[in-house]
Amino acid sequence: MPSGTARRYHDRTTHSPESVRTSAHTLDWDVKPFPFKVYTELPARALPRELDPVAADALAAPAPAGTRTSLETLAALLYYSAGVTRKKAYPGGGEVLFRAAPSTGALYQTEVYVAAGEVEGLEPGLYHLCPGDFTLRRLRSGDVRQALAVAAADASVARRAATLLLTAIYWRNTWKYQARGYRHLFWDSGTLLANLLAVGDALGQAPRVLTSFVDADVNRLLGIDPAREAALELVTLGPEGAPAPPVTTLDEIRHPYMPLSSDEVDYPLLRELHAASSLESPLAVTAWRRGGATGPRAAEVTSGVLVPLPAPRAAAGRGLGETIQRRGSTRQFGHEALTAVELSTALGWATRPVAADVPQGLVDLYLIVNAVEGVAPGAYVYRRDAHALELVKAGELRRESAYLCLEQPLGGDAAAVIYFLAPLDDVLGAFGDRGYRLVNLEAGIAGGRAYLAAYAQGFGASGLTFYDRLVVEFFAPHAAGRDAIFVTALGRSAAGGRVTIGTTLGRPRRPPA
């Protein structure tokens, strides 16, 4: 049963024209958090830099599962999901190291850890990835998969070759976005997962996402400070082998790391929601999964006019590794149209099933179509069952779309804008407060996949934030009972219809030092 914490949090962190205009928040650049977590007393182990370029077509079906997991495979998975793919210097001396997956404000609060068991070339242990120098540092030696399996109430965790653990460091994001940053933890781990799932599938690793586990036990295993950083998702990888041996004792660990900044602000609202949505025991994990199995699904049945979409493309003609290497959020869309096949492929890709411990389909995709060949401008909802667009209202809506996206021109200039909406109260009724994590994560993964499908096809995308209630009112009455969760815009870059990209491209085999 929901405690009301998630609903309260959601309502207190909505954006409105008034809240944006009256916000007194300013960015304190003196305490901007450092973008990398660097353990100061652990030796760094360099990951291979001669990477598998993941040449499989970016839109191909998953490769057959069962391929062994090697250190080289692991390096490719880590690089193409969390690695530094390009650098940009700014006037005044600032430099941003952009990563493989998009992230709100380029703040990169998602950290990645690896519980390695049967990884060829890597001793069993628990490791932390530092994308800055592309190294692993070992936090624990010995196989921890069995302890993780108990915390996740899932015996397969002890048999798969490795598990990646995604966490978030709150302050990296709340520095800019305050308590609203809790939503971003799931949007951004979702976009990272979109890449990880695609690369894992392409490399025959059969990645599977676990959203449920005993939070405190996983945090303790990682040795992270739960007031500042928390585990969000686990991803099991690689072939199943014999189960890892049981772990008798796990010492407390608290390896020192470089402070992120000289000062930080605590946002109790965020911590309260994380605590309220935590699971306390393996039994609670199992019960939660069972409870959600009968949960709500986004409604598919209405009587609007259906506009059929052509079949999605089965191939992009561009490799997945190259697609990720070239990705970068579009900073200005031109008004050039997308084809119906391009939109169809992006929608089909965004909503492909995710191998996970929970069912998907909790989030609906509403759209504003500004310029798509063969689809009249207007507002629609995507009907997955029919792979069609259902008309909500017809007309030119560029001005409205920009306004809904926090008055950002990107929302009006894009060819199509996906608004992810969820029947939040129903989801919270079925999954409790943890359902809040689920809807934001599902939208983040779908948004990340839309990005990949766009870049694979040679056009661009950008995640966007939005005026919560105005979005729901705009799609009313169709969207009654739903809340706005996330937005992704699609279109051709104003820079000649090509993707907007950085400078260090074309040689995916060598991540920058």
In the range 314-343, which residues lie near ligand FMN by CB under 6 A? 328-329
Residue type, 303: S
List the one residue from 106, 250, 275, 391 that touches ligand FMN (CB under 6 A): 106
- CB nearer to ligand FMN: pick between 318 and 393: 318
Closest by alpha carbon to 113, among 96, 98, 101, 131? Answer: 131
In the range 243-272, which residues lie near ligand FMN by CB under 6 A? none
CA gap 107, 261 in Å, rounded: 13
Closest by alpha carbon to 76, among 56, 61, 96, 60? Answer: 56
Cβ distance 209 to 139 under 8 Å? Answer: no
Residue type, 77: L
Does the footprint of ligand FMN cover residue 380 (CB under 6 A)? no
Does the footprint of ligand FMN cover residue 495 (CB under 6 A)? no
Site size for ligand FMN, by CB under 6 A?
A: 17
List the one residue from 103, 163, 219, 370 that touches ligand FMN (CB under 6 A): 103
In the range 175-194, which residues lie near ligand FMN by CB under 6 A? 187-188, 191
| Token pair belonging to 32 | 């901007």
Kindly indicate which of the ranges 68-76, 369-377, 387-395, 459-467 contains the residues binding ligand FMN, using the contact rule CB under 6 A: 459-467
- CB nearer to ligand FMN: pick between 118 and 413: 413
Does the footprint of ligand FMN cover residue 408 (CB under 6 A)? yes
- CB nearer to ligand FMN: pick between 52 and 188: 188
Alpha helices in 63-180 (DSSP H): 71-82, 145-151, 170-177
Task: Tokens 């799932």: give the residue.
Answer: 197
Cis, peptide link before residue 477, omega less than 30° from 0: yes
Kindly indicate which of the ranges 132-140, 205-213, 418-426, 462-470 contains the residues binding ligand FMN, using the contact rule CB under 6 A: 462-470
Query: Which neighbouring-strand residues pair with 490?
Result: 416, 461
Does the footprint of ligand FMN cover residue 401 (CB under 6 A)? no
Kindly indicate which of the ranges 10-18, 97-105, 117-125, 388-396 contains the residues binding ligand FMN, using the contact rule CB under 6 A: 97-105
Cβ distance 373 to 340 under 8 Å? Answer: yes
CA gap 40, 163 in Å, rounded: 24
Question: What is the nearest approach in angstroms of ligand FMN to the Cβ of residue 90?
Answer: 12
Does the footprint of ligand FMN cover residue 462 (CB under 6 A)? yes
Question: What is the nearest approach in angstroms of ligand FMN to the Cβ of residue 107?
Answer: 8
∠ CA 88-93-95, nearest 5°, is 30
Does the footprint of ligand FMN cover residue 465 (CB under 6 A)? yes
User: Residue 89: what are its φ and ψ, rounded to 5°?
Assistant: -95, 140
CA gap 345, 335 in Å, rounded: 20
Does the footprint of ligand FMN cover residue 463 (CB under 6 A)? yes
- CB nearer to ligand FMN: pick between 401 and 462: 462
| Token pair belonging to 142 | 């010995």
| Token pair belonging to 59 | 């839109």
- CB nearer to ligand FMN: pick between 146 and 500: 500
List the one residue from 35, 62, 102, 238 that touches ligand FMN (CB under 6 A): 102
H or E stretch covering 229: strand 229-240
Residue nearest ligand FMN, CB atom distance? 463
Does the footprint of ligand FMN cover residue 229 (CB under 6 A)? no
Question: What is the nearest approach in angstroms of ligand FMN to the Cβ of residue 221?
Answer: 28
Does the footprint of ligand FMN cover residue 104 (CB under 6 A)? yes
- CB nearer to ligand FMN: pick between 162 and 270: 270
Residues 6+ apart with CB under 8 A from 302: 381, 390, 478
Residue 100 has a CB neighbour count (10 Å cut-off) of 25
Using CB under 6 A as the criterion, which residues of the chain lie in contact with ligand FMN when the complex forms? 98, 102-106, 187-188, 191, 328-329, 408, 410, 462-465
